[in-house]
Amino acid sequence: MRRPLMLSRRGWKRAFAAALLPLAALSQGPLVAADYTQNPFTLAYEGAITENRQGAVNIHPVRYDLNGITISANVYTPAGYDEQGSYPTIVVAHPNGGVKEQVAGLYAQRLAEQGYIAIAANAVYQGASGGMPRNVDVPANRIEDIHGMADFISGFAGVDADRIGLLGLCGGGGYSLKAAQTDKRFKAIATVSMFDSGRVRRNGFRDSQLDTIAERMQQGSAARAQEAAGGEVLYAGDAPMSDEQIAALPFDLYREGYAYYWDTHAHPNSTFRYTASSLINLMRFDATSNMELIDQPLLMIAGDKADTLYMTEDGFAKATGAAVKELFLIPGATHIQTYYVPEYVDQAIARLSDFFGKEIAS
Q: What's the one-letter identity of residue 10?
A: R
Quick check: helix, strand or coil at residue 351?
Answer: helix
Alpha carbon distances (Å) from 299 to 5, 214, 280, 303, 355: 39, 35, 30, 14, 7
Instruction: Report which secondary-structure segment, H or E, holds 151.
Output: helix 139-154
Number of alpha helices (DSSP H) and beta strands (DSSP E) in the chain: 13, 10
Q: What structural domains and CATH numbers belong to the chain?
A: 32-196+286-361 (3.40.50.1820)
How far is it, in rounded angstroms, from Cα 244 to Cα 242? 5
236 has which bridge partners? 274
Sign of the Cα pseudo-torsion (207, 208, 210, 214, in order): negative
Sign of the Cα pseudo-torsion (45, 155, 150, 88, in order): negative
Q: Is the bond preceding residue 95 a cis peptide, omega within 30 degrees?
A: no
Backbone angles phi and psi of 120, in degrees to 5: -130, 125
Per-residue pLDDT of the chain (362 residues; tens, 9 = 90+): 233 233 333 333 333 333 333 333 323 333 457 999 999 999 999 999 999 999 999 999 999 999 999 999 999 999 999 999 999 999 999 999 999 999 999 999 999 999 999 999 999 999 999 999 999 999 999 999 999 999 999 999 999 999 999 999 999 999 999 999 999 999 999 999 999 999 999 999 999 999 999 999 999 999 999 999 999 999 998 777 777 888 888 899 999 999 999 889 999 999 999 999 999 999 999 999 999 999 999 999 999 999 999 999 999 999 999 999 999 999 999 999 999 999 999 999 999 999 999 999 98
How far is it, in rounded angstroms, from Cα 176 to Cα 287? 9
Q: Are 34 and 28 in contact (CB under 8 A)?
A: no
How high is the pLDDT of residue 32?
Answer: 58
CA 33 to the chain's CA centroid? 19
